[in-house]
Amino acid sequence: MDEAAFVEALRERGLRATPQRVVLHRILRDRPGHVTAEELLEAAARELPNVSLPTIYAALSLLEEMGMVRRVSALGGTAIYDPVLAAHHHAVCRTCGRVWDLDADVDDASALAAARALGFRDGHAQLTVQGLCARCARQPAAGPAGA
């Protein structure tokens, strides 16, 4: 979505197009791949030196609500934000925490049906494979302390 359409979408919700929201939208639109709130803060601070992490989280929450970004839970509770909204799955490295999109056909229907049977509504399925990425798998394992 271009900037003018984003500003209009905000106004339709009765919201202001603050500099923080506009800059964050532009960064997410132009930056490929997954990103953390801290990485977004670093990028946004180049244009808005006084921007704060709570402001970034508030803007991300709004963008998620508007369907413009998806929050992906990564290891250690860190949230990774994904601007790719089409249904897809992820691989997460247990060591470095990097996230990759998976190009895989996975039938989500049975998981969604099981969730509906539990009373869940408006759900989507997302598979996350956790393991070691190629780079981390090549690193020597740390031995026991004092060894």
For the whole model, what pTM was predicted?
0.74
- For the domain spanning 1-85, the CATH number is 1.10.10.10
Contact by Cβ (8 Å): 70, 79: no
Place of tokens 């991300």: 60
What six digits make up the tokens of 47? 């244009």
Instruction: In whole angstroms, give the CA distance from residue 100 to residue 74.
Output: 11
Query: Which amino acid would we find at residue 49?
Result: P
Q: Enumerate the domain spans of the chain.
A: 1-85, 86-138
The two beta strands, 89-93 and 128-131, are parallel
Instruction: In whole angstroms, give the CA distance from residue 40 to residue 18.
Output: 16
Tell me what pLDDT residue 43 has: 95
Q: What is the 8-class DSSP label of residue 27?
A: H
Domains 1-85 and 86-138 equal at CATH topology level: no
pLDDT (tens place) for every residue of the chain, 147 residues total: 889 999 999 999 999 999 999 999 999 988 878 889 999 999 999 999 999 999 999 999 999 999 889 888 766 677 888 888 777 888 888 888 888 888 877 778 888 888 889 998 877 777 888 889 999 999 876 544 544
Domain 86-138 has what CATH class? alpha beta
